[in-house]
Amino acid sequence: MTRFLPHPRLLDSPRHRDWPAFSAPQVPDGSPPPPTGADVVIVGAGPAGLAVAAALWHVGVRDVVIIDRDGAPVARFLGRVDRLNQRVLRSPYEHHPGVEGYRDCELRDFARMHWSLLTSVERREIRMSQAGHRSVVPVDVFDAYCRHTSVIHQVPQRLWLGEVGSVEPGADRVLVRGGDFTIEARHVVLCLGEERRDAPASWWSGDRPNAVGYWDEPVHPDAGHVAVVGAGLTAAHLIHNALDRGARVDWVLRKDTERYQCSDVNASFFRAEGRARFGGQARQVPWAERLALMSRERRASVMFEFQPLLTAAEANGRLTVHRGNGIRAVGDGHVELADGRRVTGDQVLLALGTTPSIGTGLLPEASVGARDGWPDLDERTLAYRHAPRVYAAGAAACMVLGPAARNIDGHRVATARIAGAIAAQVREGVAQRVRAL
Amino acid sequence: MSEPSKPSEPSEPSEPSEPSKSTEPYDTVFSLPAVDDDPDTEIGVLLMGFGPERLLAGLGVASGGPATDPASATMYVDQLRHDARDDHTFAAALAAGADRWRAARTGFAEVLAGPGERSAALRQQWAAATTAFAAARDLAPALRTGNDAERVYLVACWLRREEITRTVEEQCPT
């Protein structure tokens, strides 16, 4: 039996290595406004938006406009990853935004193509993946693969920098409005990702206290002692980074214990049988049952590779872990625990997870049909039930596809349904126009 | 000559027992391919699974200049397969590859006429073909290459020479 032994060295992939800048097609300079009409507008060019754009290309839907607030594919995702100094993704090589079934280069083959650029540890991870074992993917590889996927599906030519302010569904069109543009689209796909979860209002009153920051904000480089609040991978990165620069860390865990896992969801949810627990053609699963499954199955966890590092740091006193304690309040450089103890630090860093963006604030509330924080989506197409020309990919689809919907692999499952539905309608629209002639 | 020993009869499954303390110095359940082979081997094994059109287009891109290492040539062909470029087409790359193959085929016929070493192990097959090609390149001017991509793609095409020649004749007749 071959046993997988997670090792911290897997966390140390080089970042920003000299990847060959393979000749990319020229994109016109300047930033003209986006077109005023399109078959499809994709809002957001993160991993989900990229997957949707690639899939639409393959089903023949090419009149596509992508609006992204950073104006580049996967920019915010990689920006967050780099902010945390995260070097590997814990999603395996099988999970990527490329398209299956069209003989496109898959992520693992892309990495193998660039074998000479990989470290021996990274190469071994590929071998583990080839042998059917769990693997981690270097951020550098994922970054370059996303650029390649983007270029071959002509995403740069279809992508505009912009912030969408509203999405207004109509009977046969949807208006997408931003600061200086309005696009009339036949279909809109919302790939909005997730937003940082803020601290509960009860933790402080008024403005955020001094020396309290969130995980996606700069960390003070001179902080010699930090307190980290959170139970997930982001918290682990903050702790790792602080220990790395010689700081002392207090880790506040509201749960009884930390969880070390390969993934933040059970692997079955990446497969059809896991998704079936949330429903499908065979049976309808009651909402309450799905809600309970989500709360049970989606739990913060830290990837295995951190365990030796954190255990050693706790043993030698550089890391103090406060387990199973609620938080009463957070103030200037301190956290008050429910049992009355006070944890102090030069900086308090909050890593409380993320909240799926479900379309609220862009779509009319009636179109979102929000219930318990989730949108009302058609299971077959992932279209909003009350706005059938608008679709949701990514975390917003969790109540249909299960907790893995927010993972990179879940995007591909969502994408296949959405692209199929849109392609069928676009073809039908063309046929109707031909018949009318 | 003694009788070959009979294979042992399959036995009934027995109760699971403690794993034996093996004296094998390595795990015999599976062993993974090496990670420190020549990087071209990893690419070569991938190219061995490509269709002939894709190999020929890669050869055309490699010999024509826009990409000089095999990974970049392959990514460039991916762009052409998706019509992602305004300045170059897959058909043009295929035609350039066909021209290069016609020239190279003459060189191969001069110095590598036999079937060459065959192995069911892809990595061994690739390594043997690379070695044979390196020796042949010094003997036949038509096999001289301008960059790594052209060399690797020529080896891949040579390993699939019948399919490649058939594709050239069918799709790019002179």
Residue % of chain A over a pLDDT of 90: 69
Cβ within 8 Å, pair A26-B86: yes
**Interface residue A3 vs chain B (CB under 8 A):** no
> Using CA of residue A333, residue A200, residue A245, residue A248, what is the dihedral sign?
positive
Reported as a single tens digit per residue, the pLDDT across B75-84 is 999 999 999 9
Q: Is the pLDDT of residue A218 over 70?
A: yes
Could you tell me the domains of chain A? 8-15+34-195+355-436 (3.50.50.60), 201-264+299-352 (3.50.50.60)
Q: Which of A21-30, A54-63, A249-258, A340-349 has the lowest mean pLDDT?
A: A21-30
Does the beta carbon of A329 lie under 8 angstroms from any beta carbon of chain B? no
The position carrying tokens 């607030």 is A69
**Per-residue confidence band for A115, with pLDDT thresholds at 50, 70 and 90:** very high
pLDDT at A419: 95
Q: For residue B153, which residues of chain A lie inside 8 Å, CB to CB? A: none
Share of chain B above pLDDT 70, in %: 80
Q: Cβ of B139 under 8 Å from any chain A Cβ?
A: no
ipTM: 0.88
Q: d(Cα A220, Cα A82) in Å, to the nearest integer?
A: 16
* Higher pLDDT among residues B25 and B92, named by residue: B92
Taking only the tens place, the pLDDT of each residue in A259-270 is: 888 877 888 888
- Residues of chain B with Cβ-Cβ distance to A105 below 8 Å are 74-75, 78
The H or E element containing residue A138 is strand A137-138
Q: Which chain A residues have a beta carbon less than 8 Å from that of B72?
A: 20, 22-23
Type of residue at A209: P
What was the pLDDT predicted at B23? 56
**Residue-wise burial string across A162-171, b where 16 or more C-beta atoms lie within 10 A, e elsewhere:** bebeebbbee
Quote the CA–CA distance of A341 and A120 in Å, as a whole number: 46
Asked whether residue B5 carries a pLDDT value surpassing 70, the answer given is: no
**pLDDT tens digit string along B127-147?**
999 998 998 888 888 999 989
Q: Give the mean pLDDT of A375-390.
A: 96
* Whether pLDDT at A370 is above 90: yes
Smallest Cα distance from B99 to chain A, Å: 23
Q: How many CB atoms lie within 10 A of CB B147?
A: 17
Question: pLDDT band at B65, cuts 50/70/90?
Answer: confident
Lowest average pLDDT, out of A327-331, A428-432, B39-43, goes to A428-432
* Domain spans in chain B, listed from the N-terminal domain onward: 39-171
Q: Is the pLDDT of residue A60 over 90?
A: yes
Q: Which residue has the higher pLDDT, A217 or A275?
A: A217
Residue type, A145: Y
For residue A307, pLDDT beyond 60: yes
Tokens of residue A394, six digits: 């990514």
Distance CA A131, CA A129 (A): 5
Cβ separation A1–B67 shorter than 8 A: no
Which pair of structure tokens corresponds to residue A127? 């071998």
Considering only CA atoms, give the Rg of chain B: 22
Averaged confidence pLDDT in chain A: 91
CB contacts of B30 in chain A (<8 Å) are: 2, 131
